[in-house]
């Protein structure tokens, strides 16, 4: 998958050198429609109407934008290199599929009957897809008794901040070294979780992104996911969603005070009266 990402980046850099801005219009320039357009470019096609006509499904609504994005030009040498890169990308893409299928087979044949169930349980956590769940099971196993607490698992995985403090001053908050494959899987899951709607994890990311920065917020979400994983596997029960309004519900009084102050700052006099409890 790292090799696949590297090839995708090379393809992106190559087409941008010809002033082709496909990635600014489509979220995945190497999706089905994107690859067909790139193949057409590599074959020497210059008619933007024909290339944009290769768009499928929802992408058809972006035809005008696609025409502008595909209006660049590639030299003969660039087209040849693009063909080679697309061939390599598709070969690696097929290899990734074969490896994922093999991992799935090994999961199903695992001596511990809980292993396949564990993958399904982890799949209930926002941001964790089946393949990421399989990676997590491969890296940490399914028996959480080997870790006394979720903090021990987070420390082993390298998903908790280091504690470099002297004379009451914190010098560094970087995460510790840990399992590289697990960290990558958790980061991928954290990024996917930030795009979910009305979930605790997406709310946590939004809450931390502004004061801490996006990278630290992403690490924090990854840490939360790992803690959730620990308890899901330890209890052998699916994830229970706390909701996107969890932090608001937890800090009701803080929210009330903040909102009242906002209204007062606008020159309004606020009188608060609690509503009677619903029958």
Percent of the chain with pLDDT over 90: 48
Residue 278 is predicted with a pLDDT of 54
Selected residue with higher pLDDT from 6 and 169 = 6
Q: H/E element holding 94?
A: helix 76-108
Cα gap 131→91, rounded to integer Å = 19
Mean pLDDT of 69-80: 92
Selected residue with higher pLDDT from 256 and 205 = 205
| CB neighbour list of residue 197: distance below 8 Å, 6 or more residues apart | 244
| Entry pTM | 0.68
Instruction: Give CA angle at 28 (27, 31), nearest 5°.
Output: 140
Contact 207, 247 (CB under 8 A): yes
Pairing state of beta strands 169-172 and 164-166? antiparallel
Mean pLDDT of 204-229: 92
Residue 56 is predicted with a pLDDT of 86
Average pLDDT, the chain: 87
CB environment 221-230: b (16+ within 10 A), e (fewer): bbbbbbbbbb
Percent of the chain with pLDDT over 70: 93
pLDDT digits (tens, 9 = 90+) for 155-208: 998 887 644 444 455 444 555 567 888 988 999 999 999 999 999 999 999 999
Look at residue 235 and tell me whether its pLDDT is greater than 70: yes
Q: H/E element holding 164?
A: strand 164-166
pLDDT digits (tens, 9 = 90+) for 81-137: 999 999 999 999 999 999 988 988 888 888 888 999 999 999 999 999 988 999 899
Look at residue 40 and tell me whether its pLDDT is greater than 60: yes
Q: Name the least confident of 41-45, 56-60, 67-71, 77-81.
A: 56-60
């Amino acid at each position: 998958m790292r090799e696949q990402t590297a090839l995708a980046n090379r393809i992106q850099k190559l087409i941008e050198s010809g002033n082709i801005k496909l990635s600014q219009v489509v979220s995945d320039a190497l999706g089905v429609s994107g690859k067909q357009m790139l193949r057409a470019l590599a074959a020497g096609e210059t008619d933007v109407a024909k290339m944009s006509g290769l768009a499928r499904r929802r992408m058809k609504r972006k035809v005008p934008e696609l025409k502008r994005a595909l209006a660049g030009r590639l030299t003969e040498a660039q087209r040849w290199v693009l063909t080679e890169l697309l061939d390599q990308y598709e070969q690696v893409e097929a290899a990734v599929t074969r490896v994922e299928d093999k991992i799935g087979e090994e999961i199903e044949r695992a001596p511990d009957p809980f292993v396949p169930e564990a993958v399904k349980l982890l799949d209930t956590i926002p941001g964790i897809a089946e393949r990421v769940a399989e990676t997590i099971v491969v890296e940490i196993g399914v028996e959480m008794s080997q870790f006394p607490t979720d903090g021990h698992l987070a420390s082993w995985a390298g998903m908790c901040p280091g504690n470099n403090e002297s004379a009451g001053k914190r010098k560094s908050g970087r995460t510790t070294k840990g399992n590289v494959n697990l960290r990558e899987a958790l980061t991928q899951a954290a990024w996917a979780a930030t795009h979910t709607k009305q979930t605790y994890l997406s709310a946590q990311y939004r809450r931390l992104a502004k004061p801490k920065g996006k990278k630290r917020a992403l690490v924090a979400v990854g840490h939360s996911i790992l803690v959730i994983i620990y308890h899901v596997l330890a209890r052998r029960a699916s994830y229970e969603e706390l909701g996107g309004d969890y932090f608001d519900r937890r800090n009701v009084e803080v929210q009330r005070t903040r909102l009242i102050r906002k209204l007062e700052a606008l020159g309004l006099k606020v009188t608060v009266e609690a509503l009677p409890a619903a029958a």
